Amino acid sequence: MPLQVERSPSPEEDYGDAEWPVVGIVGEEIDIRWENWRREDGSDTTWATSENATDDIQELIEDWKKSITEQRHSLAVESTTISLLPLSGSALHDNLTAEASEAHREKQSKTRAGPNRFSDWDGDIQRVLDAHSDPRGDELDGEARPVRSLPRRPRSLQHILGSPITSRTGLTRAVPQPRPSPPKIALQEKWNRAIRNAKAAPLAIVSASDEDIPVLPDDFEYREQGYTYIVGSPPDMLFPDDDMFLRCECTGRCKSALRCHCQQISTLEDDSGRRTFAYTSMGLVHDTLIRGVHTHGVHIIECNQNCSCDMTCPNRAAQKPRDVPLELFHTRNRGWGIRTATQVPAGKVLGCYVGLTSYSHRSEATRPGIAHNYMFDLDGHEHGDHDDEDEQMNSYTVDAYHEGNWTRFVNHSCSPNMRVYNVVYDTIPETNAPHLAFVTLNEIPAQTELTIDYDPRGAEEGGEEKEGAEEGKRRPGMTRCMCGHAKCRGWVHME
């Protein structure tokens, strides 16, 4: 018969005639500490339960439980690591308090709710060993080895670290080096490092093979924003003194173009003839400007570095990092193209054309062959005729062949969903070196190719010969258009 042990009755406490104030609760077992009261052994706490507690002490217990529960949940959120120190150093009757101090139950519950990291422990060990094993190891060791069951220990730490290993025969075995990333992955990672540095949204390269990448010059550099000015560009004109800028004194976000001093040089007006910003309060190009066909020579004047407004101002749209993720992909018949990964609203500034900028008209350029197609004059259009000789003499050209961003891959369409606008913010219009902002003309669904009109003046003049026109009737410098749109003009001016 098992030994029956009965708990001896607790001695009756002597509290005297006075009423002792409660100091607080000091343990998970609901130990209550009293002020100015002690037993003969020096202890000053008593154990309380819901049954023997007075109303005021019961209220104190409930408040304490609520507070300690919040503390434990906070500990479990911060980390699921459980320290054994409080438990190992506590008295047996204080185990519950010691465990609670570490939020033991809450952390265990949170750990069980997550994925089981050890469900395939043997498999994980085998995969690590296989990744670092030497296929010639058993042959070079010079002796047969018994087959060992998993988990199998790596031969040495050096083997894992990739250093040469000397076997028992004295021979040095070469450790397999990590395989280089496929060309597509390597190029995408390189470009996205530059993109992240500019705090812009990612650019993905989509192709059927990891070996399939765009044909680029060996020294090509991806640059998300800004121009690189090369020798021959007059710096005094490109970078005017601060006193040549008009500046606003707005606080935070600019709200009225009539009160914004930097907009005095803007020629943009609303339907009632009043000066207006190019952008809405959401930073989108106004519909009145999008509907305007004749935009050649029109400048969008953004707030500049001397204005007092901050970067939340909607009149700084082209200066902000691109926030729309894009994809570089293979089109059906026009090589590589760019498409949006998400839906984009009308009037959205997606980015600007960038590259090497020189102080010369593209007619003076000597780029041979395909390299010639990546040059963009800073006059608001890529290809077209110039009637003004002064304009020819004082214009700049951006060359994206050796340095550029996603805009160099944008294809032509006779019915495009983007248009290029001149935007000025870090210089003045008189320098003839605006930024070329690519703006959506309508809402664009995800996975839709982004296009511009390479020859906007051709569209303004009513179009060129249709696709069925004879080869001899096209003008010099024109190329057959492959856009496939119902409104295709047949030919596009490329020089």
Domain boundaries, the chain: 22-111, 126-137+151-176, 183-495
d(CA 266, CA 248): 13
How is domain 183-495 classified at the architecture level of CATH?
Beta Complex (2.170)
Torsion angle of the four alpha carbons 26, 28, 30, 35, in this order, in degrees rounded to the nearest 10: 0
pLDDT given for residue 85 in this prediction: 52
SS3 231: coil
pLDDT given for residue 152 in this prediction: 54
pLDDT given for residue 44 in this prediction: 62
More confident residue, 452 or 54: 452
Do the beta carbons of residue 220 and residue 403 sit within 8 Å?
yes
pLDDT at 348 over 50: yes
pLDDT digits (tens, 9 = 90+) for 229-267: 876 555 556 678 888 999 999 999 999 999 999 999 999
pLDDT at 197 over 90: yes
Do the beta carbons of residue 354 and residue 227 sit within 8 Å?
yes
Q: Copy the structure tokens of residue 452.
A: 């511009």
d(CA 373, CA 439): 21
Helices (H), 337-408: 389-393
Token match 């990964």: residue? 341
DSSP H or E segment with residue 321: none
d(CA 354, CA 407): 8
Q: Copy the structure tokens of residue 207.
A: 């192709």
**Rounded to two decimals, what is the model's pTM?**
0.62
Torsion angle of the four alpha carbons 52, 53, 54, 60, in this order, in degrees rounded to the nearest 10: -170
Instruction: Cis check for the bond before 164: say yes or no (omega within 30 of 0).
Output: no
Q: Count the helices and strands in the chain (H runs, E runs).
A: 12, 22
Question: What's the distance, Cα to Cα, between the start and end of the chain in Å?
Answer: 108
Torsion angle of the four alpha carbons 361, 362, 367, 372, in this order, in degrees rounded to the nearest 10: 160
Question: How open is the CA angle 237-239-245, to the nearest 5 degrees?
Answer: 100
d(CA 100, CA 74): 12
d(CA 205, CA 325): 11
pLDDT digits (tens, 9 = 90+) for 277-335: 999 999 999 998 888 755 667 899 999 999 999 999 999 999 999 999 999 999 988 99
